[in-house]
Structure 1
Amino acid sequence: MASVSFFVRGKVVDKESTIWAKFRDRDIDIRVPVPYLNCKPKDWKDGKCKIPSKKNHKDDTETINTRLAQLEANIISSYAEDKPELDLKEWLKSIIEPKSQKEEKVKYSDDVVPFIDIYVSFKKDSITEATIKKAGVVKQVLQRYIDDKNTIKKTFRSLKFKDLDNTFRIDFEKYCQNEIYKVSNTYKNLKFLKMVCSVAESFDIEVHKHVKNWKFEVEKSIRNDPKSIYLTFEELDKIEKTEMPHDYLDNARDWLLISCYTGQRVSDYMRFTSSIIVQDSEGRKYLDFTQIKTGAKMQIPLLKKVQEVLDKRDGEFPRKISDVKFNLYIKEVCKIAEIDEIIYNGKMMTIERKGKPKITRKVFGDYPKYELVTSHIGRKSFASNFYEKIATAYLLNVTGHTTEKQLLAYINKTDVEKAKSTAKMFDSLGY
């Protein structure tokens, strides 16, 4: 449950110190100063000023404690209403100092698409590459929506923040449906747009009041989507033992095995070198690195299957290859290894449209499993194969997920597989 508390950092007991706000909710822990409120450490106790009548200035109409109580209530209510997921620190700063950016006296564009670039320029030092990439995707989709509207109505030139009412949302969702976008992706794009709207409001840009009430039941929208695939231990053994006809396929096969036994993203494991291997006092080996996407410092056990790949290559990891080539090669690897079970799922395809440009979309159908293999299958395979075999807390330590909910999105076992796993666990307990 979300909570707000206040503290002072000052060490000099008789010197005024800035009060800080601490916001917590599950795995969130953010601390931001409240620059307009301060208190001497000697007058501070249990998150409040010990002098109930104390004010910052003699002209203040409210005491420090009253303003802190109001600020706490405002943060909690805003969090429940905004449900921010990105730039939480900036969101908290905007609640504590809603007028701080007005002092710049700069008038920013109220056009949605150009403002996304402004958002990125302001946040580039505090957001991840994935968020910047997401901003680019949303910008492109909105621009295509605007272009489509312009072909129908020539006077439709741009999309203003004040135009983002419920009518826009319905029309945008209809456009995305016609363009064969998944409902879950459309919801995620709208959710990102809602977050950008809150930033725009902090710059005094008029945003339609409907935006604040937008709700996105993303989980419900993907409930009936086919689960993404993974490679079982049996299939991995088959891939490992199959002789590859070319060196480049052997190289790609080894990276595929490494990905499935480390549970990392391609952006991380393709950077692995022998220099990241460390050893503890008992001789156990670990991979010590920092995840690109999250910035999380990782130290994960070096499993036997990974060590076997290294032994095969004189202690070194395979040759680096591009993500594009890796995705092509591992499909060929799995085809040669006869990973060809027919599965209903989606794969990216170029779609021809009469009178319209080609589009690339995920098309669902019955495909042999090797056609569905991508660089991310290693992470999904690791999570699915080791789930229920080791404690979830330990599994989170390896994958780097911050919550069990995030991890469960990668667990792609069927109901039958889950039932068998559960039965084996009861067997091991003697029941």
Structure 2
Amino acid sequence: MIRTIENSNGIVRFAFKESIKQLENDKKKESLIFLHFSYGGNRFKYSTGYKSCFMDWDFDKQRIKQTKSNIINAIEVNEFLSKIENVIKKEYSRLIADQIVINNEVLKEFLDTYLNKNVKVDNAKPKTFFEFCEEFLSQKKKISPITKRSYKQTLLKVKNFGIDNNEKIDFNSFDKRFVLNFIDYLEENNFSLNTISKHLKNLKTFLIGASEKRLINNLDFNIKDFSVAPQETTAIYLSEEELNKMFELDLSDKKHYELARDVFLIGCYTGQRISDYNGLTTSSIKKINGKDYFTIMQKKTKVKVNCPITKKIKYIMDNRYNGLPPKKMLEKDLNKYIKIIGEMLEVNESIECVSNKGGNEKKEFIQKYKLIHSHTARRSFCTNMYKKKMPVFDIMLFSGHKTEKEFYKYIRIAGEERASHIVDNGYFD
């Protein structure tokens, strides 16, 4: 007996909704593209949602012309057509294999689900800009509490700007005019240039998210407008000599000062952020190839680093904390006490500080000890290791900087000291 095997894939073709004869008379007239699927003597028709015209359509390939067509997303549309052709064939084969009854309703339900057409959207109450931002923050992964607080502060500033200026803030409020007025508002409220830059950067994050969801229809909206170059801050570092004096200072009769000093020094010797060096425990200590390390999962970057427990760190732990890392201290207390310790050590060098606040530039000289704070530890590590000629890539391994550009912001060598460092590296005779 002679017999044939039925095509279990079905046959797909793409064609216009209108007849070819109609479209040939007006070759620029657009028509919906439909998927036609023939299976087991039945025919199923489904709108792709895309349109084309006679002159842009390749009837042999059943795709939009990509070489002569002026359609900039021709490749994207053609890829979509190929994708739904493949998925409906695969689904049809699966249904046959599972002996499921196949009809047009089943195929339509499948494609609607595949293309997310079955997802119900609640259009009863459109989200306001601020509701969108709150939802955006709640869905944002890998965001630290500090960063989240910064975003919320930005939203509060934008809300207050709207209230104080009797202006309703919605998705289409954001244009060049808004940026200039918002900057003026922050300057009038005596915010520094760096704070203004931070708030614009945070706002830009929300606006990019809203723009991607096509919630912004303002033709004057340009994300590039939401940028102000931050001013480089006057940040100092403590030299090896200054750190040694701090290490040797007897603070045994002032235990709260002693704790602040020891926590701070561990930051200077490991190069970590305060969120990582303040509050280390015995579970942080690991032995690698016979040597002790602090194994730290950095809270901001979620990167694991192994910081050697140096002789000085070990001395601090063994002689003052029974072999344990010093306990955690409130950052505000650490910043307060470490400045007092700097004053005790007579770290009195005058540092020129330039700031821009309320739109006005201010220049003043401040004694170095008044500028010491928790972040000085990290800058001290990076700068001192750089001066010791440790390769930048190796320093970054401990500090957790992602790029050299970001790393070099932490190098605080200027003037005569930097010139001397370059000469010592052998670049001049």
Q: TM-score interval w.r.t. the shorter chain? A: 0.5 to 0.7
Q: Measured at CA, do residues 315 and 201 of structure 1 come closer, stay the same or move farther in structure 2, by a change above 3 Å?
A: same
2:394 matches 1:400: no
| Identical-residue share of aligned pairs (%) | 27
Distance 1:101 1:411 in 2: 54
Deviations 1:38-61 (A, max 9, x none): xxxxxxxxxxxxxxxxxxxx9876
Deviations 1:147-205 (A, max 9, x none): 3213xxxxx3x311201111111111111222222323323322322221222234442
* Structure 2 counterparts to residues 362-373 of structure 1, below 5 A: 365-373=364-372
Query: What displacement does 1:292 show?
Result: 0.8
2:250 matches 1:243: yes
Distance 1:102 1:387 in 2: 59
Q: Measured at CA, do residues 307 and 142 of structure 1 come closer, stay the same or move farther in structure 2, by a change above 3 Å?
A: same
2:417 matches 1:417: yes
2:408 matches 1:383: no
Distance 1:216 1:414 in 2: 31
Paired residue for 1:320?
Answer: 328
Q: Is this contact kept in 1: 2:237–2:383, CA < 8 A?
A: yes
Paired residue for 2:221?
Answer: 211
Paired residue for 2:426?
Answer: 426
Distance 1:248 1:216 in 2: 44
Q: Measured at CA, do residues 239 and 121 of structure 1 come closer, stay the same or move farther in structure 2, by a change above 3 Å?
A: same
Q: Is this contact kept in 2: 1:194–1:211, CA < 8 A?
A: no
* Structure 2 counterparts to residues 159-198 of structure 1, below 5 A: 159-198=169-208
Q: Is this contact kept in 1: 2:176–2:225, CA < 8 A?
A: no
Query: What displacement does 1:254 show?
Result: 0.8
Distance 2:366 2:126 in 1: 47
2:278 matches 1:261: no
Q: Is this contact kept in 2: 1:101–1:202, CA < 8 A?
A: no
Paired residue for 1:297?
Answer: 304
1:299 aligned counterpart, secondary structure: strand
Q: Is this contact kept in 2: 1:164–1:207, CA < 8 A?
A: no
Distance 1:103 1:199 in 2: 21
2:162 matches 1:146: yes
Distance 2:217 2:184 in 1: 22
Distance 1:100 1:210 in 2: 32
Distance 1:205 1:102 in 2: 21
TM-score by length of 2: 0.67
Query: What displacement does 1:379 show?
Result: 0.7
* Structure 2 counterparts to residues 63-212 of structure 1, below 5 A: 66-67=75-76, 103-107=119-123, 111-123=128-140, 125-150=141-166, 156=167, 158-212=168-222
Deviations 1:27-77 (A, max 9, x none): xxxxxxxxxxxxxxxxxxxxxxxxxxxxxxx987699x9439989xxxxxx
Q: Is this contact kept in 2: 1:161–1:206, CA < 8 A?
A: yes
Paired residue for 1:286?
Answer: 293
2:270 is aligned with what amino acid? T
How many aligned positions are there? 322
* Structure 2 counterparts to residues 41-52 of structure 1, below 5 A: none
1:305 is aligned with what amino acid? K
Query: What displacement does 1:420 show?
Result: 1.2
1:403 is aligned with what amino acid? T
2:139 aligned counterpart, secondary structure: helix
Q: Is this contact kept in 1: 2:351–2:367, CA < 8 A?
A: yes
Distance 1:413 1:135 in 2: 32
Q: Is this contact kept in 2: 1:113–1:142, CA < 8 A?
A: no
Q: Measured at CA, do residues 248 and 139 of structure 1 come closer, stay the same or move farther in structure 2, by a change above 3 Å?
A: same
Q: Is this contact kept in 1: 2:204–2:223, CA < 8 A?
A: no
1:198 is aligned with what amino acid? I
1:185 is aligned with what amino acid? T
Query: What displacement does 1:401 show?
Result: 0.9
Deviations 1:384-427 (A, max 9, x none): 11114200110010001111111111111113211111222229
2:279 aligned counterpart, secondary structure: coil
Residue in structure 1 matching 2:341, options 328, 333, 340: 333
Indicate the structure (1 or 2) with the bigger Cα radius of gyration: 2
Distance 1:261 1:386 in 2: 10
Query: What displacement does 1:364 show?
Result: 6.1
Distance 2:158 2:247 in 1: 45
Q: Measured at CA, do residues 70 and 410 of structure 1 come closer, stay the same or move farther in structure 2, by a change above 3 Å?
A: farther
Q: Measured at CA, do residues 280 and 203 of structure 1 come closer, stay the same or move farther in structure 2, by a change above 3 Å?
A: closer
Query: What displacement does 1:268 show?
Result: 0.7
Distance 1:101 1:149 in 2: 42
Q: Measured at CA, do residues 293 and 104 of structure 1 come closer, stay the same or move farther in structure 2, by a change above 3 Å?
A: farther
Paired residue for 1:37?
Answer: none
Q: Which runs of 5+ in 2 are unaligned?
A: 1-60, 67-73, 81-114
1:187 is aligned with what amino acid? S
Distance 1:102 1:363 in 2: 60
Distance 1:139 1:175 in 2: 14
Distance 1:413 1:113 in 2: 43
Further displaced range: 292-301 or 364-373: 364-373
Distance 1:100 1:403 in 2: 40
Q: Which runs of 5+ in 1 are unaligned?
A: 1-57, 72-98, 151-155, 352-358
Query: What displacement does 1:120 show?
Result: 0.9
Q: Is this contact kept in 1: 2:348–2:368, CA < 8 A?
A: yes
TM-score by length of 1: 0.66
Q: Is this contact kept in 2: 1:287–1:301, CA < 8 A?
A: yes
